[in-house]
A = this chain, B = another copy of it.
Amino acid sequence: MTEIAYALVDWGTSSFRAWACAADGHVLGERRSGDGLLNVADGGFATVLEGHLEALGVPADAPAILCGMVGSRTGWVEAPYLSVPTDLAEVARRSQLVPHARRPIHILPGLSQRGAAPDVMRGEETQLLGIVAEGFATGTVCMPGTHSKWVKLHEGRVIAFSSFMTGELFQLLRTSSILKAAVETETGVDPKNPAFADGFGIGFSDARVVTNALFQLRAGWLLDGLDASDQAARLSGLLIGLEFAGAGERLGRDGRHALLASGPIAGLYQAAFDLSELSVDRTFDADGCVRHGLRAAALLLHPERTES
């Protein structure tokens, strides 16, 4: 039986995922739970972590590498942001060791961008480490989500990045605004829906009218009985189009592009790349990347326990 050499943990605000790995990186066990930061009682981090690691059969002396909001000021132990530009290898080197723990527990830091375009990420830096480990070290990475990130990489260094509130705005407008009834649908947005392309065109080419275009979603539904699932697709296209326009302005449109996404959002962003006439040179699965990034950190922090 292969021995567990170390554990990898992605610990966010609302979710917890852990992998038990062999020295060669092979995954021997996995745990997913809702034990995100919001559900961990005061000071309960060690207990929650050890409970999951014990269930995975991780030996008591095996190191654990953690990333995500667990390293934020409101998490377990703060791992202060690294300022960009920075080599992604620094993410492993500047990890914080949790004091007085029974095993070596390392928390990876997030990245910050200071100055005229302030920005932060926590969790995505580990996915980027995974992308670099997979051979995409120079180019622009698109990471869609609640706060989508666009990241400029050069030879494994993060040069600059920009976050966009796309996903959060979509959720707020869909669930809590006057648009609710106009975009209410049981199904997700179909990237092939022509309304998605319509919305994308407005957001991408005509950003100035976007808050008027939002109101039109309701008016078109009221006056012309436009279908709510079409209106939801139009809303999604509008916000993603705006993000693509902004990302182009912030980071340029040159060079190679990678798309890092899992699930339905991957299809929407692939469609958006097509509509914006940018090609996607590599696609990465978001779930896989965080594990690859954590493993890259393990290789650097505990070479004695890893075989590459």
A-side interface residues toward B, CB under 8 Å? Answer: 81, 112-114, 117-120, 147, 162-166, 168-169, 172-173, 176-178, 206-212, 214-216, 218-220, 222-224, 239, 242-243, 245-250
A167 shortest CB reach to chain B, Å: 10
| Contact B172 A176, beta carbon cutoff 8 Å | yes
| Contact B114 A224, beta carbon cutoff 8 Å | yes
**Secondary structure dominating the interface of A:** helix
Copies in the complex: 2
B residues in contact with A119, CB < 8 Å: 215-216, 219
| Contact B177 A216, beta carbon cutoff 8 Å | no
| Contact B210 A118, beta carbon cutoff 8 Å | no
Known: A219-B120, A222-B120. Contact between A163 and B112, CB under 8 A?
Answer: no
Query: What residue of chain B has the Cβ atom nearest to residue A206's Cβ?
Result: B249
B residues in contact with A249, CB < 8 Å: 206, 208-209
> Which 3 residue pairs across A and B have the least CB separation, nearest first?
A118-B219, A207-B207, A208-B245
Query: What residue of chain B has the Cβ atom nearest to residue A83's Cβ?
Result: B223
Query: What residue of chain B has the Cβ atom nearest to residue A163's Cβ?
Result: B215
